[in-house]
Amino acid sequence: MSEKEKIKKIYQKKIQSLIKLNKAYFQKDNPIIADSEYDELKKELSSYIEKYPYLKQIKNLDTIVGSKPSKKFKKIKHTKPMLSLSNAFEKNDMIDFKKKIKNFLNVPTELELSSEPKIDGISASLRYENGKFTYGLSRGDGLFGEDITANLATIEEIPKNIPSAPNVLEVRGEVYIGKKDFEKIKDKFANPRNAAGGSLRQKDSKETKKIPLKFFAYGIGEISSSIFKKQSELLSQLKNWGFPINSKCTVIKTIDEIQDNHRELESLRSNLDYDVDGIVYKINNITFQERLGSTSNSPRWAIAYKFSSSKASSKIKDIVIQVGRTGAITPVAKIDPVTVGGVVISNATLHNEDEINRKDIRVGDIVKIQRAGDVIPQVLSVDKSKRLKTSKKFIFPNKCLCGFPIKKEISMTTKKTDAVRRCSRGYDCDFTAKEKLKHIVAKDSLDIEGLGKKVIDNFWDLNLVRTPADIFRLNYKKIEGLEGWGKLSVKNLKNAISNSKKIVLNRFIYSIGIRHIGQENAKILAGFFKTHKKFSELFNLKKRRYILTNLYDLDGIGETQVKSIEDFFSNQKNTDIIQSLMNSLNIEDFQIINKKGKLSNKNIMFTGGFNKMSRSEAKALAEENGAKILGSVSKKLNYLVVGNSKPTKRKIEKAKELNINLLSEEKWYDLLNR
């Protein structure tokens, strides 16, 4: 090899590692080496080019989006949270979405929907004051965004001055990179979305400017004077103000139209210059949007109907079982690896025993696999014509991986046998315990970055963690020596763990993973307990009994939840584990947002259906006016609002016995409007 060739080779190798490091940082937000080492490598590459200019022809260093983006963007609170969307995958999900909304609003007619392609990019919020672009934020965690103003300002499609805008205007939309533009830089990023995200998070906006980013507006945040009655009008106004609006946005109504629309855009998809991963449907009427409001994560008035992603065929090599954090047993098909939508798949979920029986899925079968977005790939159907005569029906195991018998339970609400089998040993089952740990460190729980599922598996195998409290006494010396870990990543992990110690009560309650206690129920419980001290009373048998009877008063907490809490805390191992975890944490009191209103300090309960709105909306309205909604009739109740349609007699009688004010629907509106 000539000297020149040798140098070329070294240069190429170094360039490859720079690209790898960029990927680790931009896409995974997980730097492999220290900043100083990174800078060293860049310097070295520059000096190579200076010395041997011919290297530029191989790869010009300048074209590599290289200068390290800083993680230290200023954080700014969103004036209105940037929520995410719930997903629909099939027609039935859309039917459900429409039905729920009709029930909530209690309206008889079909509602108009604004249909908008779901651009697969990075969302951003742009703030204009007196018509001038003042700052722009990334979504961040939805409550706080990163100040990426300088980078957003490099996007030509984003107007910088809007003379006719209201005094305060916040425009929300998606930053993306065109597929053609992506072609030019594709060796540096896995896909266009990552390219857009990476460029937006560059510290040096000159680097961002080199990437042709684009923008589609789809909504607003704060606005000083709102004049819109419909989402579709809002889109037209945004267009008039100079924002790009996707040309495929339309207004439709029926399920058939939704399905046609879906098929149409899906067929156009590959010809568009941007990635779309579905269609966002929004209730077009803004008053209805306001009445519907949001749950903790997503608005009730919108949904993302994802495209049914790619399908592929493969052979089932084996069927194994997996244990979830609640002990639920899920059968999983191990298949011959196959690429579905660009990702290699070797496992697919079979959901439960009934599903296997219904589809008669067997080991050795050739099956059709589907992968939709970030959900687990699933087995759609079996090609029975390819089945061997010798194939045998799959017999579902009757033991958990831990060896304990697994049973189907009878649901308390439906009184039917569950489709799912469970291992009921909780922390005593190693397989369940490991999943519980994964839940505790996850984003909605303690949110420990760097401690993902794979890391938990690894740490578990090495006996570094067994219970949640072990997370706070990790052997970092040992971790530092593990493959894939270094000084910097251990330091990051240490920081993330230390930061996770401060946690609000509702998040804590959710994170300990009591069955049937999701984020919403955890909030209701936190509102009841208020402090971790009070919550700790659940550890005491006598106090627990008393608390449990009181929990029935909470709206949203029923027999299923109370029984589940009782089971959880009657287990000595659970209480030991949770007490020990609590000792490692700094649990903050639940912040009661004391809504001051006409109904402050009033306890209300609703029974029966109403004429003008649904019970859910009535409850939401009462809460907005400061009231607390109770779930059972007790002395604490101030009003029982009785609707026309099928109110519960027992509740009315009990309320009368206790001398509680009974209100008709009309009287209830009077009370609100007083």
The count of other CB atoms within 10 Å of the CB of residue 160 is 13
Alpha-carbon gap, residue 438 to 451, rounded angstroms: 8
175 binds ligand IVH (CB under 6 A): no
- Between 587 and 606, how does the x/- string for binding to ligand IVH read (CB under 6 A)? --------------------
Site for ligand IVH in 72-91 (CB under 6 A): 83-85
> Which residue is at the shortest CB distance from ligand IVH?
123
Q: How far is the CB of 40 from ligand IVH (least distance, A)?
A: 36
Q: Which residue in this structure is represented by tokens 């740990």?
A: 437
Q: Which stretch binds ligand IVH (CB under 6 A): 298-306, 335-343, 433-441, 649-657?
A: 298-306
Q: How far is the CB of 238 from ligand IVH (least distance, A)?
A: 11
286 binds ligand IVH (CB under 6 A): no
Single-letter residue type at 63: T
146 binds ligand IVH (CB under 6 A): no
Q: How far is the CB of 98 from ligand IVH (least distance, A)?
A: 18
123 binds ligand IVH (CB under 6 A): yes
Contact present, 513 and 436 (Cβ < 8 Å): yes
The DSSP result for 591-647, as a single string, is: ------STTTT-EEEEESB-SSS-HHHHHHHHHHTT-EEBSS--TT--EEEE-SB--
118 binds ligand IVH (CB under 6 A): yes
Q: How far is the CB of 259 from ligand IVH (least distance, A)?
A: 19
Length of the chain: 674
Residues 6+ apart with CB under 8 A from 364: 315, 316, 387, 388, 391
Rg of the chain on CA atoms, in Å: 28
The correct pick among 126, 169, 185, 280 for binding ligand IVH (CB under 6 A) is 280
Q: Which stretch binds ligand IVH (CB under 6 A): 26-34, 111-119, 192-200, 373-381?
A: 111-119
Contact present, 196 and 177 (Cβ < 8 Å): yes
Q: How far is the CB of 324 from ligand IVH (least distance, A)?
A: 25
Q: How far is the CB of 232 from ligand IVH (least distance, A)?
A: 12
The correct pick among 242, 244, 299, 397 for binding ligand IVH (CB under 6 A) is 299
Q: Is 562 helix (H, G, I), strand (E, B) or coil?
A: helix
Q: How far is the CB of 313 from ligand IVH (least distance, A)?
A: 30
Q: How far is the CB of 172 from ligand IVH (least distance, A)?
A: 7
Judged by CB under 6 A, the number of residues near ligand IVH is 15
Q: How far is the CB of 367 from ligand IVH (least distance, A)?
A: 30
Element containing residue 213 per DSSP (H, E): strand 213-223
275 binds ligand IVH (CB under 6 A): no
Provide long-range contacts, Cβ within 8 A and 24+ apart, for 49-56. 52/4, 52/7, 52/11, 54/4, 55/7, 55/8, 55/11
The tokens for 307 are: 């495209």
Q: Which stretch binds ligand IVH (CB under 6 A): 112-120, 159-167, 335-343, 390-398?
A: 112-120
The tokens for 44 are: 């070295």
Whichever of 151 and 603 has its CB closer to ligand IVH, that residue is 151
Contact present, 446 and 469 (Cβ < 8 Å): no
Please state the separation of Cα 492 from the chain's center in Å.
Answer: 23
174 binds ligand IVH (CB under 6 A): yes
136 binds ligand IVH (CB under 6 A): no
116 binds ligand IVH (CB under 6 A): yes
Q: Which stretch binds ligand IVH (CB under 6 A): 69-77, 95-103, 297-305, 561-569?
A: 297-305
Closest by CA to 202, choosing from 15, 43, 22, 67, is 67
Whichever of 176 and 510 has its CB closer to ligand IVH, that residue is 176
Q: Which stretch binds ligand IVH (CB under 6 A): 155-163, 299-307, 366-374, 627-635?
A: 299-307
Side-chain-side CA neighbours of 603 within 13 Å: the count stands at 14
Whichever of 86 and 424 has its CB closer to ligand IVH, that residue is 86
Alpha-carbon gap, residue 54 to 186, rounded angstroms: 23
Whichever of 123 and 352 has its CB closer to ligand IVH, that residue is 123
Whichever of 374 and 461 has its CB closer to ligand IVH, that residue is 374
Residues 6+ apart with CB under 8 A from 16: none
How far from each other are the two terminal CA atoms of the chain, in whole angstroms? 91
The correct pick among 145, 159, 219, 426 for binding ligand IVH (CB under 6 A) is 219
Please state the separation of Cα 43 from the chain's center in Å.
Answer: 40
Catalytic residues: 118
The C-alpha angle with vertex 88 and arms to 85 and 93, in degrees rounded to 5, equals 130
Q: Can you give the binding site for ligand IVH, defined by CB under 6 A? A: 83-85, 116, 118-119, 123, 139, 174, 218-219, 280, 299, 302, 304
